[in-house]
Copies of this chain bind each other. A is one copy, B any other.
Amino acid sequence: VGWHVEAAITESGRGAGTPESVGDLGEWGVIAALTARMPAGPLTSVGIGDDAAVVGAPSGSVVAAVDLLLEGRHFLRSWSSAYDVGVKAAARSLADIAAMGAVPTALLVAFAAPGTLPASWALELADGLAFEAGRAGAGVAGGDTARADSVLLSVTALGDLAGRPPVRRSGASPGDVVAVTGRLGHSAAGHALLTAGVSDYQELAAAHRRPAPPYEAGPEAALLGATAMIDVSDGLLADLGHVADASGAAINVESPRLALGDPLAGAAALVSGAGSSSSGTSAAGSPASLALDWALTGGEDHSLVATFPPSAALPPRWRVIGTVHAGHGVTVDGSPYQGAAGWEHFR
């Protein structure tokens, strides 16, 4: 049975006037409030309120991905609003659908929270989920709720390939170009600014709180002949490493093509300055190397990076940043990249 809340949520704190916590709101109250805020989407014929959702899969297959978003691991309620968390939870899963070259159709949202969570938090979360689903052309078709000690979300995204084969990680060939669309390093830069307590470059902090994947570029890449594609969730080099491994090829990124101007460069200068205020030299290195590090290793921007045959006519939003070669592994300007601990982990 879908969208049932445990009795334990419903029974705590019941009886007050205006609902102030999800416990006060009660089982059916939570479901009704969330449902009212999350449209089911154009392809959903059975939405929230039955045992399961029924969503159109016009091309005879469904593309599906699930991502967890856990309080304390993936977000902090002190740094992100409920709306931000909803956007991020939806974006993570929806980007996986786009990265297959598919069009998102629907989300299923499993949500657990303490009974004391403010009801307003749950409602703003629903607004964020609905906003991002709508930005991708999808809706919220179903879900489940339960009580837990901290907030957790598991978002399943569904999509349709419109008759095309999926764009996998394994199709890159030597001679292909590597192109990216969307932000690189903005989420990591925003995280660094928030950590350093620097309040400039609010757009980077916003990028950390609310990723904005270019969903429509996924099916576009498929139409342009993309041979492989992935969304940048772990970091550009790490995710290109997955493509290189799956394709049995090597990838070289040309750093001058990353065009690291503002806001990354300015933020890097601020963070480096903040880090060097007492010692005189920053452990993070020069601002330029820090900005490069964010772009190459920062995750969670959920941009799309794809490989294309050299003959592909790419629209301007696809920036060519490298090439595919025979061999294995990922290099930057012809050498292994040593800048980031995060990347070493993924070798």
> Which A residues contact B (CB, under 8 angstroms)?
1-2, 4, 6-8, 10-11, 45-46, 49-58, 60-68, 70, 73-74, 96-97, 99-100, 102, 106, 108-110, 112, 141-149, 152, 154, 156-159, 161, 166, 168-170, 229-231, 233-234, 239, 242, 246, 342, 345
Contacts and interface: CB of A to CB of B under 8 A. Distances in A.
A170 B168 CA distance: 41
A-B interface, 8 closest residue pairs, ranked by CB to CB distance from nearest: A154-B154, A57-B57, A52-B65, A51-B99, A62-B62, A156-B156, A51-B96, A66-B108
Most B CB contacts (10 A, CB to CB) among A50, A57, A142 go to A50
A64 B141 contact: yes
Contact of A58 (B60, B70, B233): B60
Contacts of A229: 51
Contact of A46 (B60, B168, B234): B168
Nearest to A99: B51
Contacts of A7: 342, 345
Nearest to A146: B68
25 contacts: A1-B239, A6-B73, A7-B342, A45-B61, A46-B166, A49-B246, A50-B166, A51-B99, A51-B169, A51-B229, A52-B96, A54-B100, A54-B161, A54-B166, A55-B61, A64-B156, A64-B158, A66-B108, A66-B142, A66-B144, A66-B154, A66-B156, A67-B144, A74-B146, A110-B154
Q: How many copies does the complex hold?
A: 2
Nearest to A53: B64
A108 B65 contact: yes
B65 A54 contact: no
A110 B67 contact: yes
Contacts of A170: 50
B56 A63 contact: no
A10 B61 contact: no
B60 A57 contact: yes
Given A64-B106, A66-B110, 15 more contacts: A1-B96, A1-B231, A7-B345, A45-B61, A46-B100, A46-B168, A51-B100, A51-B169, A51-B229, A52-B102, A52-B159, A55-B61, A65-B108, A67-B110, A152-B152
A142 to B, nearest CB: 6
Contact of A63 (B52, B143, B152): B52
Most B CB contacts (10 A, CB to CB) among A100, A152, A156 go to A156
Contacts of A53: 63-65
B342 A108 contact: no
Contacts of A161: 54
Contacts of A73: 6, 8, 146-148
Contact of A4 (B62, B112, B234): B234
A187 B6 CA distance: 17
A148 B66 contact: no
Contacts of A102: 52
Contacts of A57: 57, 60-62
Nearest to A56: B61
Contact of A2 (B1, B46, B65): B65
A154 B112 CA distance: 11
Contacts of A242: 1
B233 A99 contact: no
A231 B10 CA distance: 21
